[in-house]
Amino acid sequence: MKQDRRAFLRLVSLMTAAGMLPRLAHAETWNQAAFAAKSVDDVVKLLGGSAPQQSDQVILNGPEIAENGAVVPLEISSKLPGTESIAILIEKNPNTLAATFNIPPGTLPDVQTRVKMNETCNVYALAKSDGKFYYAAKEIKVTLGGCGG
């Protein structure tokens, strides 16, 4: 039974990859506009917010210096009650918005991931709680580094 199911899943996967199945309807459509926005303010607007407030209840943890901007590890957590989503914005990237995460009830508002940074700039962690947006910001220095290692 398990074997069949695994084989089926693999088949579904393969068929989807080959474009043989109709594209499944998702609860979400990718927010193209938000991901094309080029400033923090524009992103917040396109995420349905305005005038985000700085809050020490939003915690952005990351390195002071990233040895390589291709991989910058970040951890974002929110102590705001009822945090429903978290977003990562990188001020000087070609497109400011890097990622958004929906936090359903039962999931902790705490995510870790890695992002690309084009150059030294501010990284913003945006948290939505009770319909309002709050943020924490941190400057992360980016440098390519030397000859190897």
Partner 1 sequence: MANAIKVRSKIEGDVALIRLLISHPMETGLRKDTEGQLVPAHFIELLTITYQDRTVLSAQWGPAVSRNPYLAFRFKGAQKGEKLRITWVDNKGESQTDEAVLE
Partner 2 sequence: MTSFASMWPRLLLALLLPCLWCIVARADDAQDARTREEINKYREMLQEGNPAELSEARGEELWTTRAGPRNATLEQCDLGLGPGKLEGAYARLPRYFADTREVQDVESRLVTCMVELQGLTREQATRGWYQANSDMEGLVTYIAGKSRGASIETPQVHPAERDMNALGNALFFRRSGPLDFSCATCHSQPDRRIRLQEVRDLLLPEDARIVLTQWPAYRVSQGQVWTMERRLMDCMRQMRWPEPGYLSEALIALQVFLQKQAAGGVMQAPGIKR
- State the residues that interact with partner 2 by CB under 8 A: 62-68, 70-71, 73, 114, 143-149
Pick the closer one to partner 1 by CB: 80 or 99: 99
Q: Which amino acid is at 94?
A: P
Least Å distance, CB 6 to partner 2, is 15
Least Å distance, CB 103 to partner 2, is 20
Using CB distances below 5 to 8 A depending on partner kind, what does residue 146 bind out of partner 2, partner 1, none? partner 2
Question: What six digits make up the tokens of 110?
Answer: 């705490």
Using CB distances below 5 to 8 A depending on partner kind, what does residue 39 bind out of partner 2, partner 1, none? none
Cβ contacts of 11 within 8 Å, gap of 6 or more: none
Least Å distance, CB 19 to partner 2, is 21
Element holding 11 (H helix, E strand): helix 2-17
Pick the closer one to partner 2 by CB: 66 or 126: 66
- Indicate the pairing of strand 121-129 with strand 132-142: antiparallel
Q: Which residue from 24, 12, 109 is spatially nearest to 58, judged by alpha carbons?
A: 109
Least Å distance, CB 62 to partner 2, is 8
CB atoms within 10 A of CB 61: 13
Question: What six digits make up the tokens of 99?
Answer: 């990622």
Residue ranges in contact with partner 1 by CB under 8 A: 9, 12-13, 16-17, 19, 23-24, 26-28, 30-31, 35, 70-73, 90, 93-95, 97-104, 106-108, 110-117
Beta bridge partners of 144: none
Beta bridge partners of 64: none
